[in-house]
Structure 1
Amino acid sequence: MKAENLAGAVNAAGRLERLPLTRYQRGIFLIIATAWLFDSMDLAAMTFVLGSIKTEFGLSTAAAGFVASSSLFGMFIGAALAGILSDRFGRKPVFQFSMVIWGVGSLLCGLCANASQLVGARVLLGVGMGMELPIALTLVSEFLPTRVRGKYSAILEGFLPVGFVAAGILIYFLMPVTGWRGVFIALAAPSLLLLVIRRAVPESPRWLETVGRNADAERTVSAIEEKVRRRSGMMTLPPIAKIPEALGVGRHSTLEILAELWRAPYAKRTLMLWVVWFFTLLGYYGLTSWLGALLQAAGYQATKSVFYTIIISTAGIPGFFFAAWLLEAWGRKKAAISMLLGSALTAYIYGQCAALKMPIGAVVAAGLAMQFFFFGMWCVIYAYTPELYPTRARATGAGMASSIGRLGSIIGPYAIGVALPVTGQGGIFAMGAVCFLISAITIAVLGQETRGISLEEVSR
């Protein structure tokens, strides 16, 4: 029997789409989100400790920017590898491997003796983080039905501001006792969560079916259906949803998948995503990596700068709740444009407040508004990206977009370190605002709406 006919016999998409949402699916989501939370804490840590690292190693602003960029270079490598490996070998094994990599990298950050060793450890840490993020989003988008896909993808991204705040609180209390090295050692421990993932999170049935592993797809979907049926209390499940069969079922080479990203109808989507990810990460990481250090440069001691950065970051939590609502209320395209324009405006205002040395209350208020839109912006973009590709190329497409974005994130912190002595804080935040504006215009011109459309329908 042909692979296409076997895929139709399994119909993983239709069977998953008809399932009611129960504690079982929410439990899988929570496990993935917890891993995302700890990953986000590692990612955010540099924002709070960069000033202390700069002081201890006697680094120039350009050298400190290079240290901040090093993990982002690792994320560039990790994001590119993760998508390709995940579409080739499966979502679950690559997700687990990423956690091992970032756990070891974080531990080595705490054990380094000089700036060169720290750069190497941060690159390794970044590889793990870059691998995990796109795979987590792919898993969530493929497990959950269309009616809640956008909401839960946005909530997953909402763990980024929660992780940011949690990292700040941990560092505020831990760094005076252990120094910044103890922070990274403590952040290595959560990688043991992979033991839970190994047992509790199944492989994506959509992926299994797409690569022709129909027996495995059947077993996995049947197990999910039985667990959902028991938790919902239903005697029988709803009728199977009518979903178009996945196109291009069977094994595809990496080169075939990469080439597909640049064929119709995906070429325009790929161009849009690469531009948006590059400029958005260029602006975002260029600014946020320096938030704490810039407050120290303004005369606030390290603990105070960490405290104010934590306060500013809390606005990201209502920001992601608002973005999650906006995704379904307005659709992906309008929500993305709105949050990017808000990010551009508030980043410019924050930079002017800092440049004019306004009272700390005004600086914090402007920072709260900025982080509200920053984290809301990421909720939308992360939720939107994997929806634009078919299952056979979803992780590769999302991973490559994320990888291109990491080029921007590598350039951002280093460019800020070089430009800061010349332009001052007002200038660098104006540069970030321009980056967000470019992303908003790109989505307005090239973006496609995906709200309320199944992944299989979008891929057609």
Structure 2
Amino acid sequence: MQTGAKLDLESIIDASPVSRFQIGIMALCALVAMLDGCDTQTIAFVAPAIIKSWHIAPSAFGPVFGAGLLGGLFGAIVFGVASDRFGRKPILLGTVLLFSVGSLLTPLCESLASLTAVRFVTGLGLGGALPCFVSLTSEYAPKRLRASLVTTMFCGFPLGAVIGGFVSAQLIPAFGWSSVFIVGGVLPLLIIPFLAAFAPESARFLELRRDHKAIARLLQRMHSQFEWSGEVPRTGHGTRVPVVNLFREGRALGTVLLWITLFMSLLLTYFLVNWVPVVAGHNGLSIASAVRAASMLNFGSIFGCIVLGRLADRFGTARVVGSGFALGAIAIGLIGQAGTSAVLLGTVAFMAGFFSIGAQICTVAMCAGFYDTFSRATGIGWSMGVGRLGAIVGPVLGGVLLSAGMSSSALFLVVGSTSVGAALTSLAIGRFVLRRRRSQSEGAPAYTSGTSTSHHVG
């Protein structure tokens, strides 16, 4: 390809090597993902200390957990839509500020009611940041590496949970539970100036705005040898109700299947994170062994999303994600058979995290790749919002089934079947949606000239 050639923006990003500038963007997004994952899990780490300090029953803490997840649901939907309308960067800055303030307000709470309200507000920021940093990473990643780059970035989320657990274990005995939230609130505040100074707006969002000067500056920072031709993606017109775009122009089936996949995958993820330690303790294992089993889930998911993400770029995201969920179902079923063996429990927990939770993280990349720039953050936001319903249902379902007298072995077989369901819907996306989209796009013009009015934002 000729140096200095004029190409559409997507072709420029796909044809160019990944620059240090792009790597820096993804590193900043991974850092935000780490803070998101850390703060999301922090309330679970400090709950025993708050319960003891306030002299309340553990069962009374349920609404606090639920409020954060519910806030995340609404945050992902509302701020995802806002990100498609106003840009990734301003909404990302606003949501990071929101969950930072929410964390700093938490130590001031003196009742379950105030704590529940603050956790809801914090959840709004945590859930709202997610579609922004996933979209930003996706839109600076070349198509050939998109799945692996997005999933590697999103590994920051479980890594943040692991780091948060370690830091909480050190801070709580020394400085009390409130110190965890002070640290968790100050760190995002320190990151915001770096995001404001170094994180750019999405190049593809600027393309839709036809901001020639901003795109020229970005290509210069990427050291691109190509020039933008001024062509804009032909993705159709928006509506006054952004979610409607997710069901237009052949996207309806893919959207529904993605929602089902995210619902089932987050149900099993949050079930495993919450109930593996409890069931391990109930089976007679020590608290240390139970905590190690939960840690193995998170470690497995970190390695899993990296390996599966690289395989997805080579063999197709839907196929790899579906296979991951299928293999993870076997590992989840074996958790219920571990009994009193701490070694076996840790091993199968790692495998469950590697395959099922690793596949769940890769589903975020599949979602980012399915939607175009105009509706990407809305699509990710709604998918993760529906998925958060599964995150709420998962822990509750475990309690209901155990209260009904179901054995732990049967319980994990039921959850394993959920992973099978996620595998089937993922494979269906590849078979009935992505394959059809590829065949229909052959020979169809994807871009139009810069003077065309075929597409607008908002």
Superposition TM-score, scaled by structure 1 size: 0.85
The structure-2 alpha-carbon separation of the partners of 1:415 and 1:120, relative to structure 1 and needing over 3 Å to count, comes to farther
Could you tell me how far 1:89 is from its partner in structure 2? 1.0
Match of 1:14 in 2: 11
* Maintained 8 Å contact 2:155/2:302: yes
The answer to whether the 8 Å contact 2:207/2:232 transfers is: no
Alignment of 1:332-347 (within 5 A): 332-347=317-332
Q: Give the counterpart letter for 2:203 in structure 1.
A: P
Report the secondary structure of 1:150's partner residue. Answer: helix
Q: Tell me by how many angstroms 1:405 deviates.
A: 0.8
Higher alpha-carbon deviation: 42-51 or 408-417: 42-51
Shift, 1:45, TM fit = 2.4
Which of the residues 209, 220, 225 maps onto 1:226? 220
Distance 1:124 1:294 in 2: 31
Where does structure 2 lack aligned partners over 5 or more consecutive residues? 1-5, 447-458
Counterpart in the other structure of 1:198: 196
Q: How far apart are the structure 2 equivalents of 1:85 and 1:239?
A: 30
Q: Distance in 1 between matches of 2:349 and 2:159?
A: 16
Deviation at 1:293, TM superposition (A): 4.7
Report the Cα distance in structure 2 between the residues aligned to 1:155 and 1:459, rounded to whole angstroms: 32
CA distance in 2, matches of 1:375, 1:179: 32
Q: Quote the offset at 1:241 in angstroms.
A: 9.4
Shift of residue 55 of structure 1? 5.2
Given candidates 286, 290, 299, the residue that maps to 1:314 is 299
| Contact kept? 1:47, 1:288, Cα under 8 Å | no
In angstroms, what is the RMSD of aligned CA positions?
3.0
- 1:154 maps to 2:151: yes
Relative distance call for 1:435 and 1:49 in structure 2 (3 A) is: farther
Q: Residue 122 of structure 2 corresponds to which residue in structure 1? A: 125
> Following superposition of structure 1 onto structure 2, how do residues 153-172 of structure 1 map, counting pairs within 5 Å?
153-172=150-169
- Closer/same/farther in 2, CA of residues 299 and 124 from structure 1, 3 Å limit: farther
Match of 2:148, SS state, is helix
Report deviation, 1:96: 0.7
Query: Quick check: 2:336–2:413 contact (8 Å CA) kept in 1?
Result: yes
Query: Take 2:213 and 2:301, find their aligned partners in 1: how far apart are those partners?
Result: 40
The residue correspondences of 1:340-419 to structure 2 (distance < 5 A) are: 340-353=325-338, 356=339, 358-419=340-401
Judging changes above 3 Å, is the alpha-carbon distance between structure 1 residues 63 and 329 closer, same or farther for their aligned structure 2 residues? Answer: farther
Q: Is the 8 A contact 1:18 1:238 kept in 2?
A: no
Deviates more, 1:141-150 or 1:415-424: 415-424
Instruction: In structure 2, give the amino acid aligned to 1:129.
Output: L
Check the 8 A contact 1:79/1:134 in 2, yes or no.
Answer: yes
Pair 1:347–1:311, CA change in 2 (3 A): closer
| Structure 1 residue 253: Cα displacement | 4.0
Find 1:289's aligned residue among 271, 274, 294. Answer: 274
Partner of 2:22: 25
Deviations 1:201-221 (A, max 9, x none): 1111211232xx32xx21222
Q: 1:56 to 1:372 in 2, by over 3 A?
A: farther
The 8 Å contact of residues 329 and 356 in structure 2, kept in 1 or not, is answered as no
Residues 293-317 of structure 1: per-residue CA shift (max 9 Å, x gap): 5555556776665455334432233
Q: Deviations over 1:182-205 (max 9, x none)?
A: 222221122121111111111112
What CA distance in whole angstroms lies between the structure 2 residues aligned with 1:279 and 1:123?
23
Q: Residue 147 of structure 1 aligns to which amino acid in structure 2?
A: R
Question: Equivalent of 2:427, from 444, 449, 458?
Answer: 444
Pairing of 1:215-294 with structure 2 (within 5 A): 217-229=211-223, 237-238=225-226, 245-248=233-236, 252-255=238-241, 257-294=242-279
What CA distance in whole angstroms lies between the structure 1 residues aligned with 2:418 and 2:56? Answer: 27
Q: TM (normalized to structure 2)?
A: 0.85
Assess, with a 3 A threshold, how the Cα gap between structure 1 residues 439 and 374 changes in structure 2: closer, same or farther. closer
1:91 to 53, 78, 88: 88
Conservation of the 8 A alpha-carbon contact between 2:299 and 2:350: yes
1:27: Cα distance to partner?
0.8
Contact residue 62 and residue 414 of structure 1 kept, 8 A:
no
Call closer, same or farther: CA 1:81–1:119 in 2, change over 3 Å. same
Give unmatched runs, 5+ long, in structure 1: 1-8, 230-235
Whether contact under 8 Å (1:315, 1:371) holds in the other structure is yes
Task: Check whether the contact 2:35–2:184 (CA below 8 A) recurs between aligned residues.
Answer: yes
Contact 2:265 2:357 in 1 (8 A): no
- In 2: Cα distance, 1:36 partner to 1:459 partner: 36
User: Does residue 173 of structure 2 align to residue 176 of structure 1?
Assistant: yes
Helix, strand or coil for the counterpart of 1:264? coil
Partner SS state of residue 289, structure 1: helix
CA pair 177-124 structure 1, distance change in 2 beyond 3 A:
same
* In 2, Cα distance between equivalents of 1:340 and 1:96: 34
Letter aligned with residue 336 of structure 2: G
User: How far apart, in 1, do the equivalents of 2:39 and 2:278 lie?
Assistant: 17
Conserved in 2, the CA contact under 8 Å of 1:390 and 1:459? no
Q: What is the rounded CA distance, in whole Å, between the counterparts of 1:429 and 1:297 in structure 2?
A: 14
For residue 414 of structure 1, report the CA deviation from its aligned partner: 2.8
Q: Secondary structure at the match of 1:113?
A: coil
Comparing 339-348 and 399-408, the one that deviates more = 339-348
Deviation of the 1:51 alpha carbon = 4.6
Greater shift, 160-169 or 240-249, is seen at: 240-249
Mapped to 2, the partners of 1:46 and 1:181 lie a distance apart of 11
Is the Cα contact below 8 Å between 1:157 and 1:378 reproduced in 2? no
Q: Deviations over 1:147-192 (max 9, x none)?
A: 2212211101221222122112212222222343322222112212
Which structure is higher in RCO with an 8 Å CA cutoff and minimum separation 6? 1
Deviation at 1:136, TM superposition (A): 0.9
Deviation of the 1:247 alpha carbon: 2.3
Q: CA deviation at 1:323?
A: 1.2
Q: CA 1:414 to 1:62, structure 2 compared with 1: closer, same or farther past 3 Å?
A: farther
